[in-house]
Amino acid sequence: MRLATVFILTLLLSGCTDDDQPVKDPYAFETPSNFPSPVYTFENNPVSKRGVELGQMLFYDPVLSLDSSIACANCHQQAVAFSDPVHRFSRGVDDAAGFRNAPAIQNMAFQNNFFWDGGVKHLDFVPINAVTSKIEMAETLEHVVYKLNRSSFYPQKFKAAFGGDEITSQQMLYALSQFMNLMISANAKYDKYVRGDEHLTAEEAEGLELFENKCRVCHATDLFTDDSFRNNGLDASFEKDSGRERITEFEGDRGKFKVPGLRNVALTSPYMHDGRFNTLQQVLDHYASNVKNSETLDPVLKQGESLGIRLSEQEKLKLIAFLNTLSDNEFTHDKRFANPFVK
């Protein structure tokens, strides 16, 4: 009798989805069709609903900072693709000023290098920078784990997600990675155009063509970065910030910074590692007429008669129109990435 019931129930349940599209699990990691393969080590830390939700809580919880004043989300706001819209240099505990602009957080599973200088190679270790930096959250990983273990709700959530009786730093880093891995922006107008679901205006299409010819060398693939480090001619000397050289201690890397992905670029002002430009127009003006020479200036900016990229005012406008098609409204409004403490 019981068996029969189970059998009938199974039939009924499977019947529900038979005619429809299979239901997509919103917490499954899926590589967008126009993206390269991810590089994250999912075999060690697969994405799960519980893990992602835990990461989401940690991301919005100021418990990660020394005096519970600052959460990751302070400087990485969803409305602007998890970048900092207010500060050229983000502010940490005690209003300490950083020295670089907070980058957007998106499509992390596909990146090999993190931070403007590539100081971290593995996503799991990215949050440690912010947590322990004196000019950011000024905490220690140990103490955050201690606080989480004493909390009234985290222990049971961690146990449900990872098992074990005590929260470890590994679990905390895994939860944040799961959350960040799911943060994929791939539903901008551009993506829909690439997949044949939407059209571009004539101006946007011309902008895309210009982009392919003049920008793709560095902003490659549909992640819009080749994940390399380049000197894009912002300065002639680099006493203030030597960029990649800080990490490699190799002179040839002086003044080089990571090529940022351009997804949601219209939202992520201010621009460049030090946030010196407020508008895309200023960025393009730089490439067109203000590139400064130095030993390590990228060769692609030295090809013409003059330094930089030849761009007319009209071309700049078209490029900006195209760059606006990279804004992903679904990503910036996705409930899975929103503040879970605000109901």
Partner 1 sequence: MKVNKQIGNFVTRNVRVALMLAMLFPALTFAQNGKLVLSFENTFGAEPLAFDKEYTNAHGENLRFTLLNYFISNIKLTRTDGSVYAVPQDSCYFLVRHSVPETHKIELTVPEGKYSSLTFLIGVDSLRSTQGPEKRQGVLDVGAGARGMYWQWNSGYIFFKMEGKSKSLPDSTRNGFYYHIGGYGGFDSKTLNCIRYRTLTFEKLKVSEKKTAQVNVTFDASKFFSAQTPIKVTEKRSIMGGPVSVKIADNYKDIFSLSGVIYSRMKK
The Cβ of residue 44 has, within 10 Å, a number of other Cβ atoms equal to 10
Q: Which part of the chain contacts partner 1 (CB under 8 A), choosing from 8-16, 18-26, 140-148, 232-240?
A: 140-148
121 binds partner 1 (CB under 8 A): yes
CA dist list (Å): 284 to 76, 85, 178:
25, 20, 35
Q: Among residue numbers 24 through 43, which ones bind partner 1 (CB under 8 A)?
A: 41
| Contact (CB, 8 A) for 77 and 90 | no
Nearest to 100 by CA among 117, 121, 113: 117
Q: Does 151 bind partner 1 (CB under 8 A)?
A: no
Among 246, 276, 292, 336, binds partner 1 (CB under 8 A): 246
68 binds partner 1 (CB under 8 A): no
Q: Which of 249, 299, 305, 342 binds partner 1 (CB under 8 A)?
A: 249
- Residue in 176, 57, 72, 52 with CA at minimum distance from that of residue 133: 72
Neighbours of 317 (CB within 10 A): 16
- Sign of CA pseudo-dihedral 137, 44, 118, 185: negative
Would you say 68 or 140 has its CB closer to partner 1?
Answer: 140
Residue pair 72/127 in contact by the 8 Å Cβ criterion: yes
Q: Which of 10, 31, 34, 44 binds partner 1 (CB under 8 A)?
A: 44
The site map against partner 1 for 88-117 (x = CB under 8 A) is ------------------------x--x--
DSSP string, 240-262: S--BTHHHH--GGGTTBEE----
Min. distance of Cβ 197 from partner 1 in angstroms? 36
Q: How far is the CB of 41 from partner 1 (least distance, A)?
A: 5
Per DSSP, the residues of 79-93 read: GGTTB-SS-SS-B-G
Q: Is-contact 103 263, C-beta < 8 A?
A: no
The residues in 214-243 that bind partner 1, with binding defined as CB under 8 A, are: none
Size of the site for partner 1 (CB under 8 A): 31
Min dist. Cβ of residue 50 to partner 1 (A): 18
Report how far residue 92's alpha carbon sits from residue 342's, in angstroms, rounded to the nearest whole number. 23
Interface with partner 1 (CB under 8 A), residue from 47, 173, 175, 200 = 173
Closer residue to partner 1 (CB): 145 or 267 = 145
Q: Which is nearer to partner 1, 124 or 222 (CB)?
A: 124
Token pair in block for residue 274 = 């030090």
Q: Does residue 129 bind partner 1 (CB under 8 A)?
A: yes
Q: How many Cα atoms are found within 13 Å in the side-chain-facing hemisphere of 196?
A: 1
Distance between CA atoms of residues 159 and 165, nearest Å: 6
Of 145 and 297, which has the nearer Cβ to partner 1?
Answer: 145
Find tokens 């930089």 and name the residue: 308
Of 71, 75, 172, 326, the one binding partner 1 (CB under 8 A) is 172
H/E run at residue 199: none
* 340 contacts partner 1 (rule: CB under 8 A): no
Least distance between partner 1 and beta carbon 46 (Å): 12
Closest CA to 298 of 337, 338, 252, 240: 252
276 near partner 1, judged by CB under 8 A = no
Task: Name the minimum Å distance from CB 130 to partner 1.
Answer: 9
Closer to partner 1 at the Cβ: 80 or 247?
247
* DSSP 8-state secondary structure symbol assigned to residue 233: S
Position among 69, 168, 187, 281 found at the interface with partner 1 (CB under 8 A): 168
Nearest to 140 by CA among 153, 129, 156: 129
133 binds partner 1 (CB under 8 A): yes
* Contact residues for partner 1, defined by CB under 8 A: 41, 44-45, 112, 115, 119-122, 124-125, 128-129, 132-133, 140-142, 144-145, 168-170, 172-174, 246-250
